[in-house]
Amino acid sequence: MPTTTYSDEVVACPPRAGTLYDVLELILDRGMVIDVFARVSLVGIEILKVDVRIVVASVDTYLRFAEACNRLDLEHDSGSTTVPELFSGKAAKSIGKRKVREAAESVGDTVRKAVGGRDDDADEPDEDEEEQQERPRKRRAPARGGTSRRRPVEA
């Protein structure tokens, strides 16, 4: 049963062998080369090598890092709570939340201005665009579980 044997072996192997992406540059740029054999043109192959997960040195990346750092800093200064506690969630909901929130909003403002974004209502920098757009409406009529948790802080 060739097919079965094959897939069995493949299942045992590839998590170890890595994904195709992980070995792509080896398949394309390593391996034996023999002069009398030609090699097909691989024009355009670079596209395959781009990996969105990888940090690319760019303005966008820098601003993203800066934003994350500024946020971290705020959590740091927001009272007696330690950073890990803030990140673990429980403490963050009560202690120093207001301060964090206010500061986060001002930074959100700054960052958005800095990157030439919209001038609308400030928001936590880590919320995605969709949420930002919905924000003003939610303010007036908080309905969803996710945001209602934050209500008292804003009030």
Query: Considering beta carbons, is residue 100 or 111 the nearer one to another protein?
Result: 111
Query: Considering beta carbons, is residue 16 or 140 the nearer one to another protein?
Result: 16
Under the binding rule (CB under 8 A), the answer on residue 154 touching another protein is no
Q: Are 94 and 153 in contact (CB under 8 A)?
A: no
Query: Considering beta carbons, is residue 115 or 151 the nearer one to another protein?
Result: 115
Alpha-carbon gap, residue 58 to 68, rounded angstroms:
16
**72-101 positions binding another protein, by CB under 8 A:** 72-73, 83
Alpha-carbon 37 to chain mean position: 45
State residue 58 phi and psi, 5-degree precision. Answer: -155, 165
Under the binding rule (CB under 8 A), the answer on residue 18 touching another protein is yes
CB atoms near residue 13 (< 10 Å): 10
Under the binding rule (CB under 8 A), the answer on residue 135 touching another protein is no
Alpha-carbon gap, residue 114 to 76, rounded angstroms:
23
Shortest gap between Cβ of 99 and another protein (angstroms)? 14
Alpha-carbon gap, residue 80 to 99, rounded angstroms:
12
Where does this chain bind another protein (CB under 8 A)? 2-3, 5-6, 9-10, 13, 16-20, 22-34, 36-40, 42, 45, 48-51, 54-57, 59, 61-70, 72-73, 83, 107, 110-111, 114-115
